[in-house]
Structure 1
Amino acid sequence: MCISIFGDQSPRIKPHKAYLWTNSIRDGRGILLNTQNREIILKSLRRLVWEGKIKVYAFVIMPNHIHLVWEFLTLDCEDIIENFREETTRLIVNNMNIGCPDLVKYFKTGKGIRKYRIWRKKPKSMLLQSKSQISNALMYVHNNPAFDRWGLVKSDTEFKWSSAGYYDSGIDPFGFLTHYLGSEDRIPGMA
């Protein structure tokens, strides 16, 4: 069963707090089935972590959307999100120009310097304020590929494009994950 755990409105994102964040591809197009497009998202997240701008506690890259549980480490949270969306749009459009030029036309907006838009305009986010909320968000993110609607895998740890395996094995094949409890058994944004 696929459920929405978001309220009606997304809060303004602030640094040093954990958020469940979701962004979908325009009109639900399944462009994230493409391995190179998924790798583009992973590389962008890895770069942001290595630059000290974010921590990623959990993620899943679904065929037409992504879920992240992340924390911003600098004050420019909204700029980081917009840059992530712009960078991934540019690189995914370049990748589609090589393999699917007809599909690229669908994402063309023809407006200003941002000629393409692959992401929906308004991502959803939810502030996670307790250990229980973070645990529930991780379960939601990791179980997404196994929900009946998708049926991509039987077990969440089987899905390659997710952090579920990290929480099962303790091994981070992506090189950018942080366990949500960390070494101090703390909750991001809480003393």
Structure 2
Amino acid sequence: MLILHKRQGQMDYNYPYFYTDTICDFAHLLNDDNLKMIIINSLKFLVNQKLIEVYGYVIMSNHIHLIWNMLKLNGKEAPAASFTKFTAHEFRRYLLVNNPPLINQYRSQKNDRIFQFWKRDPLAIPLSKEDILIQKLDYIHDPIQEKWSLCVQPEDYKWSSVSFYETGIDQFGILTHFRD
């Protein structure tokens, strides 16, 4: 008997997920704020097209966490696939101009691509209860952990949704409060 398994990054529609995607080899590519803005701009496009809702996020130096909801396909493609494909193309374009030696670190050994920035199989965990969503939101809103030391107070970290939940101000225009 053939048993089909969902990939760990596969998501159903109209359901919130905790999503983690990581840069290949855990490289700290996202130290560059311009690359963080590529992520923000991709999310903003998908939100404006009403393809996703974003309830929370944090962009770290080598990975991202999102709490989001896929609303509908982007043509024939899942919004998560559109996100990773677009950001990878933009990372490549940016690095070719601004840091050509670094791009070689992301050369792929696969026949179907020249470069690979995101690891295969992001993690997507369905959030079945509000208390689990809140637990994950608290987790991603803690970028001041000893390991990362990104800021003194979580709300000071620009690349996170924590200030939205503290002040109601969405500096990038991508967030929906999870209770809305």
> Normalising by the residue count of structure 1, what TM-score does the alignment of the two structures yield?
0.85
Of 49, 52, 60, the match for 2:50: 52
SS at match of 1:23: strand
In the TM superposition, residue 12 of structure 1 has moved relative to its aligned partner by 3.5
Residue 127, structure 1, aligned to residue 126, structure 2:
yes
Tell me what 1:185 maps to: none
Per-residue CA deviation, residues 60-84 of structure 1 (Å, 9 max, x unaligned), is 1000000000001115697221121
Q: In 2, are the aligned partners of 1:54 and 1:73 still within 8 Å (CA)?
A: yes
CA distance in 2 between counterparts of 1:78 and 1:66 reads 21
Tell me by how many angstroms 1:113 deviates.
Answer: 5.4
Superposition deviation, residue 91 in structure 1: 0.3
Separation in 1 of the partners of 2:24 and 2:115? 11
- Give the whole-Å Cα distance in 2 for the aligned partners of 1:20 and 1:78: 20
Conserved in 2, the CA contact under 8 Å of 1:14 and 1:75? no
How much is the aligned-residue C-alpha RMSD, in angstroms? 1.7
Q: TM-score, structure 2 length as denominator? A: 0.90
Q: Which residue of 1 aligns with 2:166?
A: 168
Is the CA contact 1:60–1:67 (under 8 Å) kept in the aligned structure 2? yes
Partner of 1:66: 64
Q: Displacement of 1:11 after TM fit? A: 6.6
Q: Sequence identity, in percent? A: 31
Give CA deviations for 1:123-166 in whole Å, capped at 9, x if unaligned.
Answer: 011110111001001001111x2111111112210100011000
Take 2:86 and 2:9, find their aligned partners in 1: how far apart are those partners?
23
Question: Secondary structure at 2:78's aligned position in 1?
Answer: helix
- Give the equivalent residue in structure 2 for 1:17: 15
Partner of 1:81: 80
Structure 1's unaligned 5+ residue stretches are 1-8, 183-191
Aligned residue pairs total 173
Letter in 2 for 1:105: N
1:26 corresponds in structure 2 to: 24
- Note the C-alpha offset of 1:104: 0.3
- For the residue of structure 2 that corresponds to 1:125, the secondary structure is strand
Amino acid at match of 1:37: L
